Amino acid sequence: MADSNDKIKVSIDGISVEVVPGTTILNAARQIGGEIVPPAMCYYSKLEGSGGKCRTCLVKVSKGSEKDPRPMPKLVASCRTTVMDGMEVQNITSNEVLEARKGVVEMLLINHPLDCPICDQAGECHLQDLGFEHGAAATRYEFERRTFEKIDIGDKIQLHMTRCILCYRCVFVADQLTNQRVHGILGRGDAAEISTYIEKAVDNDYSGNVIDVCPVGALTDKTFRFKNRVWFTKPVEAHRDCPTCSGKVTLWYKGEEVLRVTARKDAYGEVEDFICNSCRFEKKNTADWVIEGPRKVANTSVIASNHYSELKPLPVIKDNPKLKEANKNQLERSVRL
């Protein structure tokens, strides 16, 4: 463990932070937090080798380091560039960065339909946020968009290639979490697509995690699709004793019904612990879980429209003696609250 003496100083948009050597610019910015954190569509801290592809996190290095203060000649991907001592980085303070990012958003939206009203990812879509923050009001692209025939990749996951922005996250999940990788990238350039080997279904115990890592609505949960909008649901943190995974999840309630189970995500929308398919798809009864409390929702999130901060135990728990016992602590806490 590096002590504070080993730390190096980096300044992002004029705000200094001390980080351990090897930290990327993006992660240094995340340690500061707030608006100066560059967006990231393909980087995923839990997936080794991810990042550098979408180019949304480009930043300007106006001073390389104390030793070599020359600026870097091009914008760099903050998710893959490690900081140097004395480095100065511009993110939202650089017009060049904002222009480049605007360009990237425009490019990404060329082949990603703005069908948020019918897309299951709406409300949880990173591209939606990015488009809102950096996009233009209208596109200059006037040609036919690429579309795809639907591919059936199994009974649990829906692949909508039309919406895919080729971030490769799901491929990294398949490579690093599953032992039966059956999907990857086919084709080149704007003809590239996520696909499975011929007539294969994505079917293994951790395959459901591709849904959580997809930043847009290309991979969605067939057991949840079209059942509700995310802002009408109530996320609750819960866990169970799972022999395969950590069993720590978020349950998405509508009334007394668990509509969806996902892995828990951090402030940057990244999964904290990947979960198995059994927890995700098969455990949709409240009785399967130990409820921990309401999931903390950021004020900026669309889910905050249904914001609540204290646990009001669902009737299904209150009325069931077995669940009452399992959630004893929470029930006591709710009484205290």
Query: Rule CB under 8 A: which residues touch another protein?
Result: 51-56, 58, 74-75, 77, 80, 99-100, 103-104, 106-108, 110-111, 140-141, 143, 165-166, 168, 185, 187-192
Question: How far, in Å, CA of 200 to CA of 26, rounded?
Answer: 37
For residue 68, what are the CA distances in angstroms to 10, 78, 83, 87, 97? 14, 19, 13, 9, 22
Residues in the chain: 337
C-beta of 82 vs 246, nearer to another protein: 82
Q: Tokens standing for 137?
A: 């009001």
Query: Could you tell me the smallest distance in angstroms from the CB atom of residue 217 to another protein?
Result: 17
Nearer to another protein by Cβ, of 182 and 238: the residue is 182
Non-local (6+) Cβ contacts of 243 within 8 A are none
Q: How far is the CB of 56 from another protein (least distance, A)?
A: 8
In single-letter form, the type of residue at position 96 comes to E
CA-based torsion, 161, 163, 164, 165: positive or negative: positive
Q: Which run of H or E residues covers position 16?
A: strand 15-19
Closer by beta carbon to another protein, 195 or else 223: 195
Which lies closer to another protein via its Cβ, residue 182 or residue 323? Answer: 182
Distance CA(319)–CA(337), nearest Å, equals 20
- Measured from the CB atom, the residue of 51 and 135 that comes closer to another protein is 51
Closest to another protein by CB, 106 or 203: 106
Is 102 in a helix, a strand, or coil?
A: helix
Q: Where are the alpha helices (DSSP H) in 63-150?
A: 95-108, 126-134
Smallest distance, another protein to C-beta of residue 99, A: 8
- The one-character DSSP state at 278 is I
Q: How far apart are CB 224 and another protein at their closest, in Å? A: 28
Q: How far is the CB of 139 from another protein (least distance, A)?
A: 10
Q: How far is the CB of 336 from another protein (least distance, A)?
A: 50
